[in-house]
């Protein structure tokens, strides 16, 4: 595993002042059913872009049995937030983060964020954290603002980490 040098251990994704990103090397290849993705194809996320997030997290707060099922949803990118680190924020187009709705939840951190049409997805980021609904009397970790670590911002580090872990660029040629 190669952890981004700006990552700060011992913090939660929401309080992470560094870059919430890592590259890991699998013990063995995934097999013929999987197509490698070339990270050099990473797309930037612009304001108003539609993004698709995927993950195995909870469907809703306190629904622990709903985890471990792969789900996806589409959100709309609304802009960049930069404090100690830089993240792209995306929200449910209908609820605009005010109430619980589509968005990341517990267990979705580290999942992929895609732009483009389903047949031509481009990996654009990694789910970092979710704020939960902004206008609710009950605390929630689901929906609200979904923070995305933009892959294009860290492409040089991803490529270097992949090389250090023994990855071969030629393995990415299948698309």
User: Per residue in 87-135, pLDDT tens?
Assistant: 999 988 776 666 666 888 888 989 999 998 888 889 999 999 888 777 7
Q: Tell me the DSSP string of 23-59.
A: E---SS---TT-----GGGPPP--TT-EEEEEES--S
What pLDDT, on the 0 to 100 scale, is given for residue 173?
47
The CA distance from 146 to 90, in Å, is 5
- Give 40's pLDDT tier (boundaries 50, 70, 90): confident
pTM of the model: 0.84
Report the pLDDT value the prediction gives residue 174, as an integer from 0 to 100. Answer: 44
Domains of the chain, first to last: 40-153 (2.40.10.10)
Taking Cα atoms as reference points, which of 126, 116, 120 lies closest to residue 152? 126
pLDDT value of position 175: 40
Is a pLDDT exceeding 50 seen at residue 65? Answer: yes
Compute CA 153 distance to the chain's CA centroid, rounded to the nearest angstrom: 13
């Amino acid at each position: 595993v190669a952890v981004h040098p700006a990552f700060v251990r011992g913090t939660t994704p929401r309080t992470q002042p560094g870059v919430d990103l890592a590259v890991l090397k699998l013990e063995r290849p995934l097999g013929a059913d999987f197509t490698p993705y070339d990270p050099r194809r990473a797309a930037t996320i612009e304001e108003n872009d539609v993004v698709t997030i995927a993950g195995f997290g909870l469907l809703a707060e306190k629904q622990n049995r709903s985890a471990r099922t792969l789900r996806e949803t589409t959100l709309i990118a609304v802009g960049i937030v930069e404090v100690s680190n830089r993240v792209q924020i995306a929200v449910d187009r209908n609820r605009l983060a005010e109430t619980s709705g589509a968005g990341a939840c517990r267990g979705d951190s580290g999942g992929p964020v895609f732009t483009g049409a389903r047949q031509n997805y481009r990996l654009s980021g990694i789910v970092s954290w979710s704020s939960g609904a902004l206008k609710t009397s009950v605390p929630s970790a689901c929906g609200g603002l979904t923070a995305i670590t933009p892959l294009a911002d860290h492409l040089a580090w991803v490529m270097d980490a992949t090389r250090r872990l023994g990855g071969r660029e030629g393995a990415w040629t299948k698309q």
